[in-house]
Structure 1
């Protein structure tokens, strides 16, 4: 059976889902199940993994994790044998998690001595492809790689769920001189960079237009260099020589007055700028209330 026969694509609606590795034909040597967004849908999904797991891969039956789909998208599920000639037959269920009734109540929060709505930048999500780990998603002000666990970052994508009308976001990544794609600006939601090509980023450019109320607050760690912090509607991050690999990143969007206050409290330096043989099959089930759909 060809490699393509062991890869299934499943359409998911917006919502929360449990990916459940139910059973395997060969329990002594079960195949592993690899889950990933389909090409072009990288920013649609967030994987909620066990604290000891580093990637959305299931190694044996009775294991699983949760997927949060911010909007409809396609999920790719691949099954690989654990040994040459091993079984590739597995049963995987994708079960929706129902939220129940959500009360129509607006909750404010206390901020700087006043009550108000949440800052719109709270909906920002940053996806980064990290060497040796894969795609990783983080919220605002959360490190991807970074000082605690520096790792080469090879690409990024931004998603801002509560983006105000009229605000435009563009960004670009930079590679070493001579590599294609360096400096090409892309729009919100698009992936900029590479995956699995050992091409670390050496710089990032973030741009915002259409509303002066918000600014980027970004920090970047480049190999053998101090942590950089930049605030503004146009931010450029790079190492001292422009050749150092990016090994840590966190990005937030703040109201301009909050960003300024955060800058005054910062203690870090600032840089502000405008397939093996064998037989079998993978069976993926997408569960629905009172109904189960099989994808073979």
Structure 2
């Protein structure tokens, strides 16, 4: 969707933009042409997702600069991965989404991670490596910092990411990477280091996520059947024994008749 005064789907000047709306997974093809004969076709293209989310409310009585929203167990991770891709420019995706990758492999030259709703007791730092030593090569940087290069045709050949802080053991980093000429590789842990077979292959696909370990409740022990103690039999009570003699009582009237 272009502006009312622009040709549909065409950008003519720097800092111009258009909105792309899709209903299913799609592939965006960008073609760059010179504005005049013999002109330059160099372009830096940035793709950003548009959302309608609202920022988290500030807790009452807490200063704004110290408030750090925490991702609860039911709140999805808001991790954002920005990569500078050869021929595409800056590309931003969410967790568990390929940048370049199997469908459209391309050299990744720089990476920046951002996590707005990161838990307050967890930190992430990451580093990139090149085939030849460069400034900042293999040096860890914090979230929000761009590691790598732009416009120098220097592909990343190695990537490291680690979780630090009190909650580091509660989270696991999952990374899927593709290096040129090598099969896809998946690694997990609170610290990962990935590279190609020789350490010089360009990174041409990356997918990241950070997930909290799900602690399963211990199963309840089976109930033991109640043990019944044998009950001692009640002592047998015998009825009082009568004497063996039988005593017969006669009424007075019967006695008189007998006497007459």
Q: TM-score, normalised by structure 1?
A: 0.53
Q: Paired residues, what number? A: 182
Query: Within the alignment, does 1:32 sit opposite 2:3 as a pair?
Result: no
Matches within 5 A, 1:46-65: 49-50=20-21, 51=26, 53-54=28-29
Q: 1:168 to 1:82 in 2, by over 3 A?
A: same
Q: Cα distance, 1:233 vs. partner?
A: 1.1
Q: Take 1:192 and 1:218, find their aligned partners in 2: how far apart are those partners?
A: 17
Q: Structure 1 or 2: larger strand share?
A: 1
Q: Take 1:101 and 1:32, find their aligned partners in 2: how far apart are those partners?
A: 33
Q: Is the 8 A contact 1:173 1:193 kept in 2?
A: yes
Equivalent of 2:92, from 137, 145, 149? 137
Equivalent of 1:197, from 138, 144, 152? 152
Q: Cα distance, 1:177 vs. partner?
A: 2.9
Q: Cα distance, 1:207 vs. partner?
A: 1.1
Q: Cα distance, 1:48 vs. partner?
A: 5.8
Deviations 1:191-248 (A, max 9, x none): 1001111000001000111112111111100011111111111110101110000000
Q: Which has the bigger relative contact order, CA under 8 A and spacing at least 6?
A: 1
Q: Take 1:98 and 1:135, find their aligned partners in 2: how far apart are those partners?
A: 18
Q: 1:34 to 1:225 in 2, by over 3 A?
A: same
Equivalent of 2:171, from 214, 223, 234? 214
The secondary structure found in structure 2 opposite 1:170 is strand
Q: TM-score, normalised by structure 2?
A: 0.60
Q: Cα distance, 1:168 vs. partner?
A: 1.2
Q: 1:170 to 1:101 in 2, by over 3 A?
A: closer
Q: Cα distance, 1:100 vs. partner?
A: 11
Q: 1:52 to 1:213 in 2, by over 3 A?
A: closer
Q: Take 2:54 and 2:162, find their aligned partners in 1: how far apart are those partners?
A: 39
Structure 2 gap ranges (5+):
40-49, 58-71, 216-260
Q: Cα distance, 1:167 vs. partner?
A: 1.2
Q: 1:178 to 1:98 in 2, by over 3 A?
A: closer
Task: Indicate the residue corresponding to 2:212 in structure 1.
Answer: 255
Matches within 5 A, 1:104-253: 117-120=73-76, 122-210=77-165, 211=167, 212-253=169-210
The secondary structure found in structure 2 opposite 1:251 is strand
Structure 1 gap ranges (5+):
1-18, 38-46, 60-79, 87-96, 105-115, 259-296
Q: 1:36 to 1:189 in 2, by over 3 A?
A: farther
